[in-house]
Chain A
Amino acid sequence: MMDQQLISTSFTINRKEYKVSVAPWSSLLDVMRETLDLTGTKKGCDHGQCGACTVLINGKRVLSCLTLAVMKEGAEITTIEGIAEDGKLHPLQQAFIDHDAFQCGYCTPGQICSAIGMLQEGKAQSRAEVKELMSGNLCRCGANTNIIDAIMEIKEGAAHA
């Protein structure tokens, strides 16, 4: 085993600046959960197959398990902990509650961050397109129908606003 190379890396998570010394092989997910105590983002498969670790980096939804922390110098990161404002739930959080869009809740932070990214991308028009563009987030409890219902409510609300 080689000597551990620690690299000083700075980024912003939920509008707060962090400076960390990380090993090259530390994923952003592990740094957030294990070092920075930001455990809202979940580790599901750790292989990019389930979407539980989805966060927004510079506004784009990405997988924090397949992201090395050292490669995100200067990035602006948003996690599930950073989307409520002034103690008020983000509309998607409220919609997930209203539509019973989770059972165990483990995929929920990733689902919501992914849905925020998806709505910002603005590529999905129909329900079929929303389903297609949310396929990177798996729900093993079977709440998918309600998840899509929740997202469609916010999407259609935004369309009519």
Chain B
Amino acid sequence: MHNFRYKAATSVSDAVVEVNQSAEGQFVAGGTNVLDLMKYFVAKPEVLVDVNPLNSLPVVSEYKEGVRLSAFATNADTAYHPIIEKRYPLLSKAILAGASAQIRNMATNGGNLLQRTRCYYFYDVNTPCNKREPGTGCSAIRGYNRMMAIMGTSEHCIAVFPSDMCVALAALGAVVNTDGMQGKREIPFADFHRLPGDHPEKDNNLLAGELITGIDLPAEGFAEHYAYLKLRDRNSYAFALVSVAVVFRLDGDLISEARIALGGIAHKPWRVLDAELYLQGKSATVDHFAAAAEIILQGAKTFEFNSFKPELARRAIIRCCKMALSPDTQLPGAQPSA
């Protein structure tokens, strides 16, 4: 690891000022991703500002009709919190499908949103990568791209965003609270992460030095009908090839509201509102789920080694919709259930 300065934050404004004073300043909380990136010389901050001392909020607190998650709470404390398990079980399941128990004990909620792609070429500083070094080219497009995106790619980047937690937050319609030089902001989850476009170096729409302080969940947690399905090369402790979060509100046999978000296929959690609207008012049948999957995956673009992904995603969507009808049958680790 390169040499850097360390500073423990004393207040949010202090942390924001400290990071902004250096063009190469970065926040650290759990450290599970940023320290790893520093060991690979992908991240080389001049100063690392430790925001853990700012953790004054409870892990989960009631807020409006929903709840507020502390950005500084760990993923494990959030997933196992009784309110999250009861009211937002989709979020609990998705968090527990990610990383390992040790990493979930360290990684924070704010950090989960800010983790970088696990594209091999982004991590390998000996290869060109537009995300790591803009203008150098994308090694993945003609490289080994099994893990890479099929939706929303650009000619400059085909990386995927790796979080499981964020797939659930997208489905639930979370709001991200931030604080920075321009004051506090509330960012709807759909507007938080970006597609690569011409600027794959930007993962999200945070301003320079802006800090995530909390994440709000709306009142509706879809605790009756939800599922998180994660398909990967080994059954645990691996990033998703495809993951799906599904929630329903049912009125008898009819779907009164549906939300479907996908991970592992794009540079941000992927939702297609047309597919959700299509399901509204329809019966909860495999035929309707399959039609929704077709809508979601329209325009999928594959590369040499990930041409399996659209079909895998199609089947995963249908299976996850079925799982959401009977959440009690779900297995540990977000594996497929019957």
Contacts and interface: CB of A to CB of B under 8 A. Distances in A.
Interface string B226-239: 00000000011100
A18 interface: no
A99 interface: no
Most chain A C-beta atoms within 10 Å of own C-beta, residue among B8, B76, B332: B332
A109 interface: no
B102 A54 contact: yes
Interface in A92-138: 114, 117-118, 121, 123, 126, 128-129, 131-137
13 contacts: A2-B4, A23-B3, A24-B3, A46-B39, A66-B103, A66-B106, A71-B52, A114-B102, A121-B101, A132-B236, A136-B100, A136-B102, A136-B103
Interface string A11-36: 00000000000011101000000000
Contact of B31 (A23, A67, A128, A129): A67
A68 B52 CA distance: 13
A49 B331 CA distance: 23
B265 interface: no
Given A71-B50, A136-B237, A5 B106 contact: no
Interface of B: 1-6, 8, 28, 31-32, 35-36, 38-40, 48, 50, 52, 76, 80, 99-103, 105-106, 235-237, 331-333
Contacts of B8: 71
A51 B102 contact: yes
A159 interface: no
Interface in A52-70: 54, 60-63, 66-68, 70
Nearest to A123: B80
B6 A62 contact: no
B32 A48 contact: yes
B236 A61 contact: no
Contacts, number: 95
Contact of A4 (B3, B32, B35): B3
Given A63-B103, A66-B32, A133-B101, 8 more contacts: A2-B4, A4-B3, A62-B105, A66-B106, A68-B48, A71-B31, A71-B52, A135-B237
Contacts of B31: 66-68, 71
A132 B102 CA distance: 12
Contacts of B237: 135-136
Contacts of A158: none
Contact of A2 (B5, B36, B100): B5
Instruction: Kindly list the 6 A-B residue pairs having the minimum CB-CB distance in the complex, ordered from nearest.
Output: A136-B100, A24-B6, A135-B236, A135-B237, A132-B332, A25-B1
Contacts of B39: 46-47
A66 B35 contact: yes
Contacts of B32: 48, 63, 66
B105 to A, nearest CB: 5
A1 interface: yes
Given A1-B3, A5-B6, A25-B3, A128 B101 contact: no
A24 B106 contact: no
Contacts of B48: 24, 68
A128 B52 CA distance: 34
Contacts of B1: 25
A62 to B, nearest CB: 5
A136 B101 contact: yes
Most chain B C-beta atoms within 10 Å of own C-beta, residue among A4, A54, A62: A62
A25 B106 contact: no
A1 B4 CA distance: 9
A48 to B, nearest CB: 6
A7 interface: yes
Contacts of A66: 31-32, 35-36, 103, 106
Given A7-B6, A123-B80, A128 B331 contact: yes
A48 B80 CA distance: 22
Nearest to B238: A135
Contact of B6 (A47, A70, A134): A70
B332 A128 contact: yes
B126 to A, nearest CB: 17
A5 B102 CA distance: 29
Given A66-B36, A68-B35, A118 B3 contact: no
A111 B237 CA distance: 15
Contact of B102 (A24, A61, A131): A61
A27 B331 CA distance: 36
B248 to A, nearest CB: 26
B36 A61 contact: no
A148 to B, nearest CB: 13
